[in-house]
Amino acid sequence: MRILTLIRQVLDAEESVRVRNGAVELEGSKLVMDTMDEYGVEEALRLREAGAEAEIVAVSVGPARAEEALRTALAMGADRGIHVVTDVSLDAIALSAVMAQIAKAEGAELIFCGGQEADWDSQALGAATAERLGWPQATWTSALELKGSTLVGKHEADEGSESFEVVLPAVVTTQQGLNEPRYPTLPNIMKSKKKEIRKETLEAYGAAPKVKVNGVEIQVKERLKKILDGKDAAGAAAQLVKMLREDAGVIA
Amino acid sequence: MILIVAEHANGKLSKSAYELASAARGLKREGGVTALVLGSGVASVAASAALIADQVLVGDSAELAQYDAEVWSAAVAQIAAEGEAEVVLIAGSRSGREYSPRVAVKLDAPLLEDVMSLKDEGGVLHAEHYTFLTRVTERVEAKAPVVVVTVKAGAFAPAVPGTTAAEQFDVDLELPKRRLVVTGSTKEKTGRIALIEADIVVSGGRGVGTPEGFVQLVEGLADQLGAAVGATRAVVDAGWRPYSEQVGQTGKTVQPKAYIAVGISGAVQHLSGMNKSKCIVAINKDGDAPIFKIADYGIVGDVKEIVPAMIQELRK
């Protein structure tokens, strides 16, 4: 079986966001593999460690620097990488066209994708890729197990969680809590440098953005920061309640 | 026409349906607003939808008793194509955001996700939505024969129902077989007000100490204020609280009038779910915790002393 894990390189969540020329400035900031995608790589590795015979292929579409995120996936244990090199920023629906073509060409049976990417706040890539392939999808999974060619797991629905079963092929989207991604060890980092990353061009896939971005703004709400010392619990509590009632007017 | 997919739960039209109707009315398109209701035994829901739309299409069958991404996307895409919809509006709920990408692919349409504004300028749809863990507002546009849009909960004022009911039509749907088989579910329902609709949210983190501490402090304060209860990922992972209460990147996004964070340090992933709240209140023992950087009011101290004192003060 071949498992694809979709990898996106994003701004580290701990980094502050800066805007330049109507776009979020990424140069000079720490960029990482999206943690949502780490869950996918980790889960693929765990399925293999639990007995599934699988080749794990990490796929990324992005500029030259996105190779670093692919190397992280390879250092975690993915077998090889595919990097569609482009400076064009594709929206999720357009990107899914590339992902689906790669999945077909690779004969993949299972695809992992982040539940919500940390740069777009988008949840669309996994579902759109599944639709293009004519596959079912299991989103926001919190537990997963492979029994033969059936995936058995749990995921979050509108209210509450559901247990599910789905026969492969399928697309699975991840979320925090699915697993604890491993840190690449030094030997594995060394080994990953020799692993293949196949380079391709976006032109080969004929995908173009469907949504135009006109600009971004950081709206920072000025906060009052009226912070009290709580050594005198009763006094501080009384003062806070008074402020919430009279100054903020948010409680009755 | 503009198609809105009207969600419902427990036999009632959801608040999101009224918000979609309002978003649809703001667009200058001819052909009116058509509401699509999918489900089983949804006559009363369709009747409510008839008061906010110009036409209601009803898909009422046993096959539609339970939501499924493939079934829903097939139904919505079919109706949108047959009616030559120019805009398809879908609620930004978990399910809405899950099946809407499939609708967009089926219709070869652009997808605007979780928008908080929507304008029509000469046939081009302009929208704003959050990116970078809700830290950035991005302005986007899409121009196509049909555009699929998911609408952020609470971003539009709910439409006020009219007094005359629009006509209802039953539709024949060609539905695919379900492939994701649901074998069990745990519904998490509390008697409290829903998180995303509440004016006040009291949320708890690890700092409350124990599951019992959460009940005493967070639920206790919420009950006193008539507030909804929220929780951090850590608390949900530990099994103290149900997932339905989780606020943050992988949980719910809320923007109440007041968000009271009890024993929450403020991881970025949590902040992304609540940083648009109008007033943020933090109670935490660590004065350097990130939550205080975005707080309007707060107390640095022991939550086990401060919160009971607040409850007592509120009772006065």
Are B42 and B129 members of one domain?
Answer: yes
- Residue ranges and CATH numbers for the domains of chain A are 2-205 (3.40.50.620), 224-252 (no CATH)
Query: Which residues, other chains included, contact B119 with Cβ-Cβ below 8 Å and sequence gap of 6+?
Result: B26, B27, B125, B126, B127
Does residue B159 sit within a domain? yes
Selecting from A132, A211, A218 the residue whose C-beta is nearest the C-beta of B142 gives: A211
CB distance from B279 to chain A under 8 Å?
A: yes
For residues B137 and B20, membership in a common domain is answered with: yes
In a shared domain, residues B119 and B217: no
Nearest CA-CA distance, residue B132 and chain A, Å: 4
Q: Are residues B153 and B214 in the same domain?
A: no
Q: Which residues contact A21 (CB under 8 A, 6 or more apart)?
A: none
Residues B155 and B272 grouped into a single domain: no
Distance from CA of B36 to the nearest CA of A (A): 19
Q: CATH number for the domain including B149? A: 3.40.50.620
Q: Do B136 and B11 fall within a single domain?
A: yes
Does residue B179 fall inside a structural domain? no
d(CA B118, CA B120): 7
Determine the Cα–Cα distance for residues B219 and B112; give it in Å rounded to an integer: 37
Provide the residue range defining the domain that includes B82: 2-170
Q: How confident is the model at residue B134 (pLDDT cuts 50, 70, 90)?
A: confident
**Token pair for residue A206?**
């004929």
Classify residue B189: in a domain, yes or no: no
Q: Do A166 and B180 touch (CB under 8 A)?
A: yes
Backbone angles phi, psi at B281, to 5 degrees: -120, 130
Residue A47: its H or E element: helix A35-49
For residue A100, give how far its alpha carbon lies from the nearest alpha carbon of chain B (Å).
12
Average pLDDT rounded to a whole number, residues B210-232: 96
Record: contact A233-B269, CB cut-off 8 A: no
- Domain membership of residue B230 (yes or no) is yes
B162 and B215 in one domain? no
Contact A226 B280 (CB under 8 A): no
Side-chain-side CA neighbours of A246 within 13 Å: the count stands at 6
- What is the distance between the alpha carbons of residues A57 and A102, in angstroms, rounded to a whole number? 11
Work out the pLDDT band at B189, boundaries 50, 70, 90. low
Whether B6 and B153 map to the same domain: the answer is yes
Of A92, A229, A251, the CB nearest to B300: A229
Residues 6+ apart with CB under 8 A from A147: none
Binary contact (A250, B200; C-beta < 8 A): yes
Predicted confidence (pLDDT) at residue B37 exceeds the cutoff of 80: yes
Query: How far is residue B171 from each of residues B1, B21, B24, B168, measured CA to CA in Å?
Result: 17, 20, 22, 10
CB-count burial class (<10 Å; 0-12, 13-18, 19+) for A87: exposed
Q: By C-alpha distance, which of B277, B272, B302 is closest to B290?
A: B272
Whether residue A236 and residue B101 make contact (CB cut-off 8 A), yes or no, is: no
B220 and B146 within one domain: no
Same domain, B108 and B231: no
Give which of A99, A174, A120 is closest to A144, Cα–Cα. Answer: A174
- In order of A50, B75, B214, B309, the CA distances from B99 in angstroms are 31, 11, 35, 46
- Using the beta-carbon criterion (under 8 Å), do B132 and A124 form an inter-chain contact? no
pLDDT of residue B118: 97
- At residue B132 the predicted structure's pLDDT band, cuts being 50, 70 and 90, is confident
Q: Does B77 touch chain A (CB under 8 A)?
A: no
Would B47 be classed as within a structural domain?
yes
CB contact under 8 A, B296 and A231: no
CATH classification of the domain holding B220? 3.40.50.1220
* B197: chain A residues, CB-CB within 8 Å: none
Do residue A228 and residue B181 have CB atoms under 8 angstroms apart?
no
- B51 and B154 share one domain: yes
Cβ pair B180:A215 closer than 8 A:
no
**B240 inside 8 A of chain A by CB:** no
Task: Identify whether B103 is part of a domain.
Answer: yes
With contacts defined as CB-CB under 8 Å, which chain A residues touch B136?
Answer: 17, 19, 24, 216-218
Phi, then psi, of A224 in degrees rounded to 5: -75, -30
**Nearest C-alpha neighbor of B76 from the set B7, B179, B162:** B7
Distance CA B37, CA B32 (A): 16
Query: What would the pLDDT profile of B60-96 be if each residue is shown by its tens digit?
Result: 999 999 999 999 999 999 999 999 999 999 999 999 9
Please identify every stretch of chain A with a pLDDT value under 70, giving residue numbers as ranges. Answer: none
Asked if ipTM goes beyond 0.85, one says yes
Burial of B182 (0-12, 13-18, 19+ CB in 10 A): middle
Q: Residue B61 domain-assigned?
A: yes
Instruction: State the smallest CA–CA distance between residue B50 and chain A in angstroms.
Output: 24
Q: Is B24 in the same domain as B136?
A: yes
The answer to whether residue B28 scores a pLDDT higher than 80 is no
Give the pLDDT confidence score for residue B149 in this predicted structure: 98
Q: For chain B, what is the domain count?
A: 2
pLDDT at residue B242 in the model: 86
Q: What is the mean pLDDT of chain A?
A: 94
Token digits of residue A55: 């080749």
Best CA proximity match to B228, nearest among B213, B210, B241, B239:
B241
Radius of gyration of chain B (CA): 21
Taking the Cβ of residue B309 and every Cβ of chain A, the question of whether any pair is shorter than 8 Å is answered with yes
The average pLDDT across B139-146 equals 96
- Which of chain A's residues have a Cβ under 8 Å away from the Cβ of B292? 225, 227
Does residue B274 belong to any structural domain of this protein?
Answer: yes
